[in-house]
Amino acid sequence: MTPFGEKVRAFRKERGVTQSQMAAALGVSSAYLSALEHGRRGRPTWDLLQRIIGYLNVIWDDAEELERLAELSHPKVTVETAGLGPDATALANRLAETIAILPAEDLKRLRAQLEEAAMRAEEALRARRRRR
């Protein structure tokens, strides 16, 4: 299941709506909506994402969160490491090899560490750009 699918399912259940009801209202099949929730389909199109947001009647922060989660929820990820150092390639390959067997608590810990490192790197990049 993807973060987007998990959130859509939670919103749908909070509202007491079945997959069939929501799929019919969105103009998609129940099978497609199920696959989207379970991460067997890629990200929804922008148009479908907006229809989901409207159907679920989510606004402001919840709508922004769904949009952000959709961006983070492609189940088939490609990591391009050409031109980067050997550590980047080794990291990408090791993750690809082991992600399916890592326990949930390790995945959460690794993701938190990566988020912290990414925030530091993004801030350093912004600081360099301000100095120019």
Q: Mind listing the pLDDT tens digit for each residue in 19-74?
A: 999 999 999 999 999 999 998 888 899 999 999 999 999 989 999 999 999 988 88
Judge contact between 65 and 7, C-beta under 8 A.
yes
Beta strands in 53-129 (DSSP E): none
Of 23, 16, 59, the residue nearest 44 (C-alpha): 23
**Intra-chain end-to-end CA distance of the chain, in Å:** 43
Is residue 75 predicted with pLDDT exceeding 80?
no
Per-residue pLDDT, 1 = 83
Q: What local confidence, expressed as pLDDT, does residue 82 receive?
A: 95
pLDDT of 87 higher than 90: yes
- Biggest alpha carbon distance in the chain? 54
Q: Which residue carries 């031109």 as its tokens?
A: 83
Percent of the chain residues past pLDDT 90, beyond the cut: 86
